[in-house]
Amino acid sequence: MEQLEYQEGRTELATLGKVALIDRLSADFEPKNGTTAKGIGDDCAVLDRDDRQYTLVNTQTLVEGVNFDMMYTPLKHLGYKAVALAISNITAMNGTPCQILVSLAVSNRYSVEALDELYAGVRLCCQRYDIDLVGGETGTSRAGMVITVTAIGTVDKDKIAYRCGARLHDLVCVSGDLGSAYAGLLILEREKVTYQANPNFQPDLDGYDYVLERFLKPEPRTDIVKMLAEKQVVPTSMTDVSKGLADSLLHLCKESHCGCEVYEDRLPIDYQTTRVCSEMSNNMLPISCALNGGEDYELLFTISQKDYEKLKDEQSIHIIGHITEQGSPAVMVTPQNTTITLRAQGWQSDQ
């Protein structure tokens, strides 16, 4: 009877969504230390231990069968990606990543040589971005692999960019292009299904190099943070595009108590992404990949209009819209001048 009553009062995770779940679980935790400048609610925790700089801390966990599929994920790419995802959150607050800690839980299905390959990817990413591996933990798992990376970085106090700083009429900017990582995943899933139906099938991945690399080996945009510093531009708000543009825009608008208008024809979408979408049997639109695909790890940020001249000619930056007043929705304007209210896709256990 007790079990039945428990089931009747059970709340399924999918009914809340990820953000609401985090808000619920963290509701009763109040900061007790003066060095906690910012806790839960942004891309990183912010610690105040220095007169000039903040310390940024972020943790990312990847679970086999949930966040990655070993059928098409090379271990070296996985190690690289795990580090890249964690340090992307440091850049999402206009910071510079400095150290990582890596914790790993694996089953006996993996050999020592397999873990050597995983850590070769970790090492490659550390070398590329001047990151130090300073610790972690290794344990066992009953099945598969779980890898957790904690990234530590710094940012000057007068340059930190929170999600909550966007102001009326600020310009909305995004780096790189959108939807390509999801396009890469679509290709890999398509080839996986074909292989499972016919194990003698040889995957044909020619011509998809860009979108595959965007999914399997994303690059954190530390170059954007450096460019902004050189141009003497401090974003008024910033976050990374990890679960699609729509989700990131809604987070930014919620925290900044504002709305926004972005323009469909200004969203940067690579031609390979468009090609992949045209090949899919469900007629997926490239704009859907950009808005809701996720895993692009580009930077979404706002700037004051006075900084427009400094960035207008930067090829890696796209100005896609502007911030609207408090109480306004986050919308996308189509080329036909139709306004579409943005909706984030519901949180799934595999995202």
Mean pLDDT (the chain, rounded): 92
If pLDDT is split at 50, 70 and 90, which confidence band does 137 have? very high
Mean pLDDT of 84-109: 97
Q: What's the confidence (pLDDT) of residue 346?
A: 41
- Quickly list H helices, the chain: 2-8, 18-25, 75-91, 112-128, 180-197, 209-216, 222-230, 245-256, 271-279, 286-292, 308-311
What is the C-alpha separation between 4 and 109, in angstroms, rounded? 38
By residue count, the chain amounts to: 351
Asked if pLDDT for residue 189 goes beyond 60, the answer is yes
Give the sheet arrangement for strand 45-47, strand by strand: 36-38, 45-47, 53-63, 145-156, 96-106, 132-140
If pLDDT is split at 50, 70 and 90, which confidence band does 265 have? very high
What is the C-alpha separation between 310 and 296, in angstroms, rounded? 25
Q: What's the confidence (pLDDT) of residue 7?
A: 58
Other beta carbons less than 10 A from residue 41's beta carbon: 15
What's the CATH number of domain 2-27+34-156, 3.30.1330.10, 3.40.1190.20, 3.40.50.300, 3.40.50.2300?
3.30.1330.10
DSSP characters over 233-250: ---SEEEEESS-HHHHHH
pTM: 0.92
Residue percentage of the chain with pLDDT more than 90: 81
Mean pLDDT of 170-188: 97
Q: pLDDT per residue over 191-242, tens digit each? A: 999 889 988 888 888 899 999 999 999 999 999 999 999 999 999 999 999 9
User: 163-341 falls under which CATH superfamily?
Assistant: PurM-like C-terminal domain (3.90.650.10)
CB contact set of 322 (below 8 Å; sequence gap of 6+): 169, 170, 171, 172, 260, 261
What amino acid is encoded at 303 in this protein?
Answer: I
Asked if pLDDT for residue 2 goes beyond 60, the answer is no
Mean pLDDT of 282-304: 93
Q: Which residue has the tokens 């059928």?
A: 71
Domain boundaries, the chain: 2-27+34-156, 163-341
